A = this chain, B = another copy of it.
């Protein structure tokens, strides 16, 4: 049995106990979280929000680029969110990533180098600040008054704000 089949079995149990009360699409707490995809971080649990409360955008690193600005623009323009919470974390695979080594490894399997940037970073706090800047400098994100960035410590569960 594959993991995917196991997840589907778990979903059947979940759906049986599902509360059919319909939630609106617009996040109740008007916040969008942009976080790393890391398996040890569960944004809803770590930040104490529930179903229907927040948009959650995630990628390798929790960094902000055009694709994340697209999601954030949709979140704010169409679905009314107003605050942005950015989360990187300790022990991230993108921190200190040797991009050249990974590109070479990918090329050896794919037959050509990746046609996209790998987007590693060498300083965790600086990467958070850079992501904050990308949001606050984007004219396509209407609400830029509350854009705050954090490092999630996988060792303690604590969020540490980056100023």
Contact = CB atoms under 8 A, between A and B. Distances in A.
A68 B59 contact: yes
Contact of A7 (B48, B65, B110, B156): B48
A56 B58 contact: yes
Given A37-B55, A37-B75, A39-B52, A116 B3 contact: no
Interface in A27-73: 27-32, 37-40, 42, 44-49, 51-60, 65-71, 73
A31 B3 contact: yes
Contacts of A32: 37
A114 B85 contact: no
Interface in A69-102: 69-71, 73-75, 77-79, 83, 85, 91, 93-94, 97, 102
Contact of A156 (B10, B15, B53, B85): B15
A47 B156 CA distance: 25
A22 to B, nearest CB: 7
A57 B58 contact: yes
A1 B15 CA distance: 35
A71 B119 CA distance: 10
Given A7-B31, A29-B3, A59-B71, A42 B51 contact: yes
A6 to B, nearest CB: 8
11 contacts: A2-B83, A4-B85, A8-B47, A8-B161, A15-B156, A27-B39, A32-B37, A60-B71, A77-B102, A77-B106, A109-B142
